[in-house]
Structures are given as C-alpha cells and as structure tokens.
Amino acid sequence: MVGLRAAIVLLLHGLQLARSQNVFVQSGSYEDLLEFSTTQKPGDTLELSSLSSEGFTRLLHPFFPKHSARIKKSHFCDETVQAYTGYLDIGTRHTFFYFFESRNDPETDDVMLWTNGGPGASSSMGLFMELGPCNIVSPNKTAFNPYSWNSNANIFFIDQPIGVGFSYADFGETVGTTEESAKDIAAFVAIFFETFTKFKGRGFHLSGESYAGRYLPLYASEIYDQNAKLAAANLTTVNLKSVLIGNGLVDFSQQMTSFYQVQCTGAVVSPLQPISTCVRMQKAVPRCEKWMKAACVDHFDHMDCEAAVSFCSAELLMPYFEKGYNPYDVTKMCCYEEPSWIEQYLNQPWVRSILGVDSSFGNFTGSAEDVGIAFTKSGDMFHQNQLYIAELLERGLKVLIYAGSYDFICNWIGVERWTLNMEWSGQKEFATLPLREWKLDGKTVGETRSAKGLSFATVFGGGHLLPRDRPAESLAMVNRWLAGEDL
C-alpha cells in the first residue's frame, strides 16, 4: 500500500506544481499526507523551529517536480541543540537524513553535509562513532560528544545512495552509479536552501570520508552546475564554498600501489611483511601501474580494468588482510564494536519512533552489500575523480584533502600522490611546496601544504575513521577550515 499511496501523493503534487511556481509545504505524517495541504506563498518564511515532532512537514520545489522532502523535529542525541530527521522522496525512493543545528550560533554558522562511503555505508557511522553530536557507548546508550563538528556548523548526516541505512525504495530499487545519486543530493540541497530562508546565502560545505572521495567531487560539480539553472529561474542558489575529503578514494590507480609503501618501507610504521613478500610486491608494482594505466586510464575497458585491479589487489592488498590487520588502522588488528551497537540502537522501536522511520522499513543495517555490488558491477570506482576536483578549484571552490597517518585502505601516501600529480593551474605551486607542521595547543599533530585553494593535511596517530581516533585534532582542523584560517 505504501507504493500506491506514494503514487497518489506524487500525482497530486504534480497537479499542484502545474498551477504554481512556488515552494510548497505540506504538513502531517507520511500516511496522512492527503489530509493536510498548505501552500507557502512567495515571500513567506518557514522556520525549522515551527516544525512538529509528531509528524512530517512536506517540502516541494518548482524546479524538481520528481523530488520532495519531509522533515520533523527529533529530540535525541544532543539536548543542547535542535535536531531534525526526514526523507528526500524521489518517486518510490526515499533517502533518510539527520540534521543538527550548530552549538555555537545556528543563525549565522555555515551548513555542512557529511556522508560516509562504502559504497553502501550508512552515515550513522559518522554520526554515532566519529564526528556527530553523540557517541554510541553501548547498544542502548549514547553520550554527548564534545568534539562534534556541529560545534561551529549546522550539519546533515545523510544515508545515501538509496538502499543505505534507513534509506529504501518501495520496490527494492537501488542506485548503481555516483552520477545518479549526485542529482538527488543536489536537488535535496536546493530544496533545503529554498525553503528555510534563514539559511539562504550561508556557506555550504560537502564533507565525507572513504568512498566520499568519489561521491563528493561529483556532488559538488552537480550543485555548482545546477546553480546556473536555478539562477536563471530566479530561484535560490547554493553558496557552495568547499569540499572536505577524509582518507578518500579519489584515484584508485594512483592509490593502489601505495599499499606496498605502507607495508614494506616503514613510511607509516615498521615493515609489516616479511622480506620475501615485499620483494614480490616490489616486482608487482610496475606491472600494476602499467596494466591499470593501459586498461583503466588511457583507454577504459571495463573487463580488462577489472582484471588489472584483481591482479593488483591479489599482490598488494591481500597479504595485509591475510595477516588479520585492521584495514582502517595499521596499528590494530581486526574490528570495532561500535557498528554492531549502532545497528542494535537504531533497531529499537522507541528510537525509530523518535526519528520518524517509516513503519514499513525492516531491520537497519550499517552496510548495504547490494549497493556495493551494484556500484562494483557498474565500474563506478574505476574513475579519476581528481578531474572534477581540478575543475572545482578552477572555479574558486576550496578543497581540503586530509588523512589519518595510520590508515591503510586509503592511506596518506596514495592520497598525497594524486594531489601532487593532479593537473590544474595551481599544480606547480602546490607540488613544489614542502610539507610543514601544523599544531594544536603547541604540539605538532600533523603536516600540511596549501596553495590556491587546495590543502592537504595529515593527522598523526589517526586512522581511516579520523574523527573517532583523533577527535580534538579533527575538530580543530575543521574549525580552522570553516573560519578560513591556515592549519
């Protein structure tokens, strides 16, 4: 019945959009949407504080007839600020999000969106065990996080693409490419800034980690290009200021061979592999570079590229996993407790009721394997996303590329490599700068270089989940970035 009801609602919305060029606001629970209908007139404002905690308020945008959003107050996680949850609805597809106002000054602070990677990882990981307003401490309890990134920013956590976390499709559809999900994210951002007038003109920042190195360059590009169309229609544009990518997979072909340096050269910690394994790896590196360049970069052939990556993974990646090391931290073995706690916490009926999770939704899982499979089959990861980053830099956007020094899977060596090799007008100036120390409370906590809007930074002792491992350092880094200060 949910699918039928959604179809009826969309039909009615389509008729309304044909009559007006305004933003619409419709109140009530999702099941009762047809019983409530109000229209936001030109010049009217909608305040977040006016939203209900009992049901959703539905938001429409004249430029996106296939997209709408619904949002409600959700009193949880951080009692010091207002919190909200909701969905971006695209036909029969529904993308879940959390939103927390800034602890500092929600009336003036910038807006940030955070996404975890995967592909298929829920941003509940970022929310509950990294940079969110509360940390998961048991399957039944969260604790206040003094190092949350909403210390000086209003922040979204979004479960994307469809099929991740609390996001779902009525008929089980999934998104298989970043290009598809980019259009949905750009529409969602436009709906938010058009509707909540107090945020119009605020700086907006896209942030995330891991596979967000693929997501965010495309999301930012879609938002940037979309702005021209919104401006031409006399609608609110998004003041996109920067992109922050942590331990990101941006160019797999350059980052793949860094696994040798991490395991064998002492560039991160003492060598992790026996000499015989390292000698074999050293011989495999030039073959990997040559094969991936020919099959994945110079002339993309999906099957040949997969074969190249398979060979390189077997030679450079598998020896690490066979030893049982943690892929997110070379100093640790195996796993974290928090992901299972998060799943148990979010599957409790009282939590889901507060969040407004659709009653038809099944069990929450933090990692959606079917999404990862769909992205893998489409070859989505085999791209050079620094091409998008270069274009964003040329258009005046700022980009922060940061990495915890102990990460393995998207380690700082591979991350730094592509930043140095990226072709753009600032390449020469950026690449010739030496790394310099950056400090917190007088202590050196990492290294950095910056030129013409691009910054690269490491944080000592942090892994893939940097805000979890080094919360004070990561917050200081982000706050300085938002304030326009050097690290």
The residues assigned a catalytic role are 210, 407, 464
Q: What angle do CA 125, 185, 301 make, to 5 degrees?
A: 90
CA 73 and chain centroid, separation: 23
Are 227 and 394 within 8 A, CB to CB?
no
Are 106 and 81 within 8 A, CB to CB?
yes
User: For the chain, first and last CA: distance in Å?
Assistant: 53
Kindly state the tokens that stand for 198.
């107090």
Of 481, 453, 459, the residue nearest 415 (C-alpha): 459
Residue 47's alpha-carbon distances to 25, 127, 193, 221, in angstroms, are 12, 24, 12, 29
Residue 300's alpha-carbon distances to 292, 293, 388, 416, in angstroms, are 9, 9, 18, 24
Using CA atoms, how far apart are residues 419 and 430, in angstroms rounded to an integer? 9
CA 67 and chain centroid, separation: 20
Are 101 and 154 within 8 A, CB to CB?
yes
Of 240, 238, 152, 149, the residue nearest 196 (C-alpha): 238
Within 8 A by CB and 6+ apart from 181, the residues are 160, 161, 162, 175, 215, 219
Using CA atoms, how far apart are residues 274 and 302, in angstroms rounded to an integer? 34
Within 8 A by CB and 6+ apart from 187, the residues are 61, 64, 67, 88, 90
Are 352 and 346 within 8 A, CB to CB?
yes
Residue 82's alpha-carbon distances to 133, 403, 439, 480, 482, in angstroms, are 11, 31, 32, 24, 21
Residue 355's alpha-carbon distances to 86, 212, 403, 467, in angstroms, are 8, 25, 32, 24
* Phi/psi-derived region of residue 20, left when phi > 0, alpha when psi is between -120 and 50, beta in every other case: beta
Kindly state the tokens that stand for 191.
């709906």
Q: Which amino acid is at 309?
A: V
Q: Where are the beta strands (DSSP E) in 3-148?
A: 24-28, 38-39, 56-60, 67-73, 83-90, 93-100, 111-115, 134-138, 141-144
- 111: helix, strand or coil: strand
